[in-house]
Amino acid sequence: MNRFFDKVIGDPMNRVDGKLKVTGAARYSAEYQLPNISYGVIVSSTIAKGRIRSVDAKAALRSPGVIAVISHENAIRVPGWADNEHPTEPPTGGRPLRAFHNNRVYSNGQPIAIVVADTYERARHAAMLVKIEYDTDKHETNFEANKGKAVVPAVVKKNPKSGLADYERGQAEGYKTAAVKLELEYVHPTEVHNPMELQAITAHWEADDKLIVYDKVQGTKPTQQAFANEWKIPVQNVKVISEFVGGAFGNGLHNWPHETAAIIAAKMVKRPVKLMLTREQMFFMVGYRPYTWQKIGIGADKDGKLTGIYHEAIGQTSSYEEFTESTLQQTRMMYTSPNIGTKYRLLPLDVSTPIWMRGPGEATGAFALESAMDEIAFALNIDPVQFRLMNHTDTDPDKNLPWSTKYLKECIQVGAEKIGWSKRSLKPAGVRSGEWLVGYGMGVGTFGAHRGAAAVRAKLLANGTVVFQSAVTDIGPGTGTAMVQIASEHLGVSPDKITFQLGNSDFPQAPNQGGSATVATVGSAVVATCKAMKEKLLGMAPAADKRFAGLKVEDVTFDKGYLSLSRSPSVKVAFTDLLKKQNLSELDVLQDSKPNQEANKYSKYSFSVHFAEVHVHPATGQVRVKKVVTCADAGTIVNKKTAANQMIGGVTGGIGMALQEEAVMDHRFGRYVTKDFGDYHVPVHADVPPIEVYFVNKPDYIVDPMGTKGLGEIAIIGVAPAITNAIFNATGKRIRELPVTPDKLI
Amino acid sequence: MIQFQYTRATEARMALDAISKDQSSMFIAGGTNLVDLMKRGIVTPERIVDISRLPLNKISYEGKVLKIGSLALNSTVAENKLVQHKHPLLAQALNAGASAQIRNMATVGGNILQRTRCHYFYDTSLPCNKREPGTGCGALEGFNRMHAIFGFSDKCIAVHPSDMSVALLALDATVLVEGSKGQRRIPFGDFHRLPGDKPEIDTNLLPGELILGVEVPDNGFAKNSHYLKVRDRASYAFALVSVAAALQIEKKVIKDARIALGGVAHKPWRLAEAERSLIGKPVSEASFQQAALLAMQGAKGFKHNEFKLKLAPNSIVQALKVASRMV
């Protein structure tokens, strides 16, 4: 292991931007007070399907402070949208909704108009005065009633080798001949993105063809490109700032109609427009984890060896845009079994488009797979921990490759010990605490350890400080902090002398922050940039001290802002002296980095296991999660504090998934009825027990030079089944439809 | 939110005058419910009369009656030593409601007058007879998991959301109000209405009347009472079912009993017959089961709230067991 790793990497360093956040100094997308700013409020549809007959803005326009009411009737044409029809038909494939493009209504809550006024309050008031008349068409929003109409995704039709295509290893439905077999159906309801910070954008046309947006997104570069295409202007004429993001779990991975609405409005009123959605609008406009039905056929021999799993899923999407997620991937690679089949379908409905939500399809799929594993272990009368270990696979049976690293067994062993698994009764309802039934459950999670391409700039300044820059965003995990730690290790400069600037499309290329790939992707670019910087410094060193001549980077130690000879540490020179010697005010290095081909010889995944102890009251059906132990195999842990923070957040999200979250729609209207924090429940403090976090913390250098593997997704994947399995162990009741509310347990 | 005038009253008479002069005016105190309703355009007062500075926040004990001013904060009442000592059920019910932040703003009078949390009432694009008479009840054939099993009508199946009111009903409280014709007392059980044909009217408070306070008489329940609230999460959620249970026990025999339910009707729901059935009975699960059975007479579930027909009696038994210290 690189000796630098022993110093800063892994250190639970405080967040570099922690003080800015807790003192309110950090600026979020709705906090840029540009001169002459105006405020937009969206008026959204109250029908699920049809056409807008008229938009009556007279009363709104008479209201004090109102500058404009913009709808399809008067909106300027977005130049990138050449054809008039939107969206494309038929049902799947399609493209994102176009704000104010024509009179069609595709879902309830769709943006119909934007009211712009001189204050937010006046805009909001006037928005209530806009009268919209519709010609209503019959809508279909009921998943269960329309399940039979599910279709093969367009992406599969186009590419039969897509990971979403039907899959068969051995015999897809080989489970059917097993000695012990089960066929089980699971339902995951719609879950809505509800980060603390509401979706917001401040849009400003600095010139006719020059746009700047302060936008809550997960990628500044992809957003920059999207708006450049939309407005047919050079990409460098679009600037996207997203310096601070108040939580995003996938809802910033897509550009939504309200963003274009604000940009159209800013262009039309010739003033900057600030737009922040209401909490209710967040339920309709910015994606969600889709309602998903799953069926698992699972079989094993009497000794507990799996003989087959057949896993089907149908996910909901909108009528105009195809959204897919890898709900079934883990079933192909998690356990050793001669027969595996998967089948994924989509059900387009008259609803808005879903989007990835933390542990996207995998968390949904893991609920079914890990529940089914628990169910068949019970049928076999085998301890579920034992059952997983018995069916553990040492190579990837899907790709037929060795794992880059896999320490899942270690995770399971540690987790079982820490939760007190030995207290568990194999028979349900076997343990009590006073009146409460006590149960223990577990669930495994996995997610691909992805790495993409990125570039990072570093500027060494004359005072010895270093500024790094990347277009990447930080949606909450502490990206800036981790990058400072990696830079410190690899450049030999103490963390307090390093600044990592991010969230600006002017900075070097970085992909969306998503898929747990940021540390591997951007961190690798930081390492590459540090290496390039060190080479430059070493090249400059002989001018200061001839003893550095002809040496390689490996021969030299970089530490605390000095180069020294590794074999003779007293021979040293400060970075700053090298700049001075050359009369340089700064040393600027830009380096890119991409995954190496060697990594393709391996299958790369992160793994996690979650153990839960729950108490259930038999008379009232109330569930109390008493303790969660979560253990992750995510390679090198760069910062133990922020990493544990991510795991705790993921487990909390998993508690919500298991017990509380459900966006309920009244299908007569195609409209959600639980659409605020009073009705749509997420865990409060009283729901969150002590969560113990453990990391294997063994590097995976196949994935990236730091040895990291992604962490954000595996924090939630497998948590919900750990809890529902524990509920079964406590009560003997198997609830296959989330969330498990008290009414389902009495 | 529509634009409105704001008046601050410094004495009760001034508040009553301001309200009586203007039909579209409303009192505001803590505002924890009213402001939400105004933001969503569900109520649209053109004037709000701020009564939060009126001297109506005292908690006192006179002539065997605990008197609580209508402007006493929920948190203040819950923490009050007299309340905790004499009527722990009331303190428990208050602490079961809302969040610490809301309890720090919300007043006793406002808590009693809070509107239903029915989904259809809160969405102006959906039908609701309570919000807009004649549009129909959205919940009747819609999503009615949180809704009534007692006392509903075909016009409205909403429930009253207050926890505190359930305890006040069980404790035989009286509401003291003042209007243009002077003061009057309303027994708590008569304060809220059933929906009937006029679900838009929640209470028997007359237009222009102001709640001055509530009065709770002494009783023998302090030792054996319990407020049980069953909800979808551990805190900060409205009740699926809640039970205010109070027993007076002597030598393991029940001398007197009070049971009221929350989350089951348009008003807090008192179970007089079940209470009577307990008097003279031994403290036992069998006594409680029998009371619970009686309690559920006449209950009827809808598509999504059938579970309350089981959860309510289970909860009654559970609350009585805790109140009698069986568990």
Do both A726 and A622 map to the same domain? yes
pLDDT band at A6 (very low <50, low <70, confident <90, very high): very low
- How confident is the model at residue A84, as a pLDDT? 59
Average confidence (pLDDT) over A554-560: 96
- Max Cα distance, chain A (Å): 83
Q: Please give the residue of chain A at the shortest CA–CA distance from B235.
A: A686
In a domain, residue A22? The reply is: no
The amino acid present at A409, given as its one-letter code, is K
- A230-243 mean pLDDT: 98
Query: Considering CB atoms only, which of B2, B126, B311 is closest to A671?
Result: B126
Q: Are residues A337 and A236 in the same domain?
A: no
Work out the minimum CA distance from B240 to partner chain A, whole angstroms.
9
Please say whether the beta carbons of B321 and B285 come within 8 A: yes
User: Residue range A278-297: average pLDDT?
Assistant: 97
Alpha carbons A524 and A483: distance in angstroms, whole number: 10
At residue A91 the predicted structure's pLDDT band, cuts being 50, 70 and 90, is low
Residue among A619, A678, A687 minimizing CB distance to B317: A619
Chain A residues 24-63 with a CB less than 8 Å from chain B? 46
Residue B291 · residue B316 · CB < 8 Å: yes
Contact A666 B142 (CB under 8 A): yes
Residue A93 — pLDDT band, cuts 50, 70, 90? low
Torsion angle of alpha carbons B142, A191, A250, A96, nearest 10°? Answer: -30
The tens digit of pLDDT for each residue in A410-462 reads 999 999 999 999 999 999 999 999 999 999 999 999 999 999 999 999 999 99
Per-residue pLDDT tens digits for A249-275 = 999 999 999 999 999 999 999 999 999
Q: What is the CATH number of the domain that holds A372?
A: 3.30.365.10
DSSP reduced 3-state for B101: helix
Query: Is it the case that residue A9 has pLDDT exceeding 80?
Result: no
Smallest Cβ–Cβ distance between B237 and the set A125, A624, A681 belongs to A681
B47: its two tokens: 């004037």
CB A376 within 8 A of CB A134: no
Q: Which residues contact B188 (CB under 8 A, 6 or more apart)?
A: B165, B168, B169, B172, B173, B174, B175, B214, B268
Average pLDDT of chain A, as a whole number: 96
Interatomic CA distance for residues B198 and B215, integer angstroms? 28
Specify whether the CB–CB gap between A53 and A133 falls below 8 A.
yes
CATH number of the domain to which A126 belongs: 3.90.1170.50
Contact yes or no for A673 and B142 at CB 8 A: yes
Give the minimum alpha-carbon distance from B320 to chain A in angstroms, rounded to a whole number: 13
Shared domain check, A546 and A491: yes
DSSP state of A410: H
Q: Tell me the shortest Cα–Cα distance from A346 to chain B, in angstroms.
A: 26
Q: Is the pLDDT of residue A87 over 60?
A: no
Q: What is the pLDDT of residues A167-181, one digit of tens each?
A: 999 999 999 999 999
Looking at the DSSP bridge assignments, the partners of residue A111 are: A44
Band (pLDDT 50/70/90 cuts) for residue A378 is very high
Both structure tokens of B26: 């409303």
Structure tokens at A29: 């997308």
Q: How far apart are CA A193 and CA A196, in angstroms?
A: 10
Which residue type occupies A370?
E
Give pLDDT, residue A8.
63
**Domain shared by A131 and A153, yes or no:** no
User: DSSP character for A147?
Assistant: G
Shared domain for A342 and A483, answered yes or no, is no
| Chain A residues closer than 8 Å to B314 by CB | 619-620, 746
The answer to whether residues A308 and A108 touch, using CB atoms and an 8 Å cutoff, is no
Instruction: Give the pLDDT score at B16.
Output: 92
pLDDT reported for residue B1: 74
Query: Do A628 and A672 sit in the same domain of this protein?
Result: yes
Task: Measure A673 CA to nearest chain B CA, in Å.
Answer: 6
- What pLDDT, on a 0 to 100 scale, did the predictor assign at position B20? 87
Same structural domain for residues A436 and A298?
yes
Look at residue B21 in the predicted model and tell me its pLDDT.
85
Mean pLDDT confidence for A215-219: 97
Q: Does A18 reside within a domain?
A: no
Q: Would you call B311 and A746 a contact, using CB atoms and an 8 Å cutoff?
A: yes
DSSP states along A54-102: EEE-HHHHHSTTEEEEEETTTPPPPTT--SS--S-SSSSSB----TTSS
Pairing between β-strand A562-565 and β-strand A556-559 as defined by DSSP bridges: antiparallel
Query: A666-692 burial, b for 16+ CB within 10 Å, e for fewer?
Result: bbbbbbbbbbbebbbbbbbeebbbebb
Q: Tell me whether residue A440 is in a domain.
A: yes
- A282 part of a folded domain: yes
A679: amino acid identity, one letter: D
Q: How many domains would you assign to chain A?
A: 3
Instruction: Say if residue A41 is in the same domain as residue A128.
Output: yes
Torsions phi, psi for A518 (to 5 deg): -70, -45
Interface test with A, best of B6, B44, B117, B143 (most A CBs within 10 A): B143
For residue A579, what are the contacts with CB-CB under 8 A and spacing of at least 6? A460, A462, A540, A585, A586, A587
Q: How many domains does chain B have?
A: 2
pLDDT value at residue A5: 36
More confident residue, A56 or A1: A56
How many angstroms separate the Cα of A261 from the Cα of each of A42, A69, A98, B115, B177? 8, 11, 9, 35, 51
Q: Which among A524, A559, A594 is the end of a domain?
A: A594
What's the CATH number where B42 sits? 3.30.43.10
Per-residue pLDDT of A67-82, as tens digits, reads 999 999 999 999 998 7
Check whether A4 has a pLDDT greater than 90: no
Q: Please give the Cα distance from A454 to A458 (Å, whole number).
A: 13
**Distance of alpha carbon B32 from alpha carbon B102, whole angstroms:** 7
The two tokens of residue B79 are 């923490």
Does some domain include residue B286? yes
CB A315 within 8 A of CB A155: no
Domain assignment present for A74: yes
Going from the C-alpha of B147 to that of each of A663, A740, B141, B159, the distances in angstroms are 17, 19, 11, 6
Residues A446, A460 within the same domain: no
CATH number at residue B248: 3.30.390.50
Any B CB within 8 A of A133 CB? no
Tell me, yes or no, whether B143 lies in a domain.
no
Select from B126, B232, B238 the Cβ nearest to the Cβ of A742: B232
Residue B11: domain span:
5-53
A2-11, A71-80, A151-160, A611-620: segment of lowest average pLDDT: A2-11
Give CA–CA dist A365/A663, Å, rounded: 19
What is each CA distance from A367 to A21, A296, A327, A613, in whole angstroms?
34, 11, 10, 17
- Complex prediction ipTM: 0.97
Per-residue confidence of chain B (327 residues) as pLDDT tens digits? 788 999 999 998 999 998 988 889 999 999 999 999 999 999 999 999 999 999 999 999 999 999 999 999 999 999 999 999 999 999 999 999 999 999 999 999 999 999 999 999 999 999 999 999 999 999 999 999 999 999 999 999 999 999 999 999 999 999 999 998 999 999 999 999 999 999 999 999 999 999 999 999 999 999 999 999 999 999 999 999 999 999 999 999 999 999 999 999 999 999 999 999 999 999 999 999 999 999 999 999 999 999 999 999 999 999 999 999 999
Same domain, A655 and A732: yes
Distance in Å, alpha carbon of A622 to nearest chain B alpha carbon: 7
Identity of the residue in A124, A620, A684 whose CB atom sits nearest the CB atom of B236 = A684
For B42, nearest residue in chain A (alpha carbons): A128
Among A573, A594, A615, the domain-final residue is A594
Instruction: State the catalytic residue, choosing from A362, A598, A713, A737.
Output: A713
Alpha carbon distances (Å) from B35 to A595, A687, B5, B43, B153: 54, 28, 14, 9, 28
**Does A668 lie at the interface with B, CB-CB under 8 angstroms?**
yes
The tokens of A277 are what? Answer: 């959605």
Domain boundary among B21, B37, B53: B53
Question: Which residues are paired to A185 by β-bridges?
Answer: A295
Residue A27 lies inside a defined structural domain of this protein = no
What pLDDT score was predicted for residue A501?
98
In B, minimum Cα distance to A45 occurs at B125
To probe the interface with B, which of A673, A680, A687, A723 has the most B CB atoms within 10 Å?
Answer: A673
Q: A708: which DSSP letter?
A: B
pLDDT in tens, A118-167: 999 999 999 999 999 999 999 999 999 999 999 999 999 999 999 999 99
Instruction: Note whether A296 and A237 are same-domain residues.
Output: no
Residue A17 falls inside a structural domain: no
Instruction: Check whether A690 has a pLDDT greater than 80.
Output: yes
A133 assigned to active site = no
Beta-bridged to residue A294, according to DSSP, are A186, A313
Q: Do B119 and A674 touch (CB under 8 A)?
A: yes
**Two tokens at B138?**
């959205």
- Structural domain boundaries enclosing A702: 148-191+289-450+601-744
Same domain as A308, residue A163: yes
- Confirm whether B284 is domain-assigned: yes
Segment A26-65, tens digit of pLDDT: 999 999 999 999 999 999 999 999 999 999 999 999 999 9
With respect to residue B29, please indicate whether it lies within any of the assigned structural domains: yes
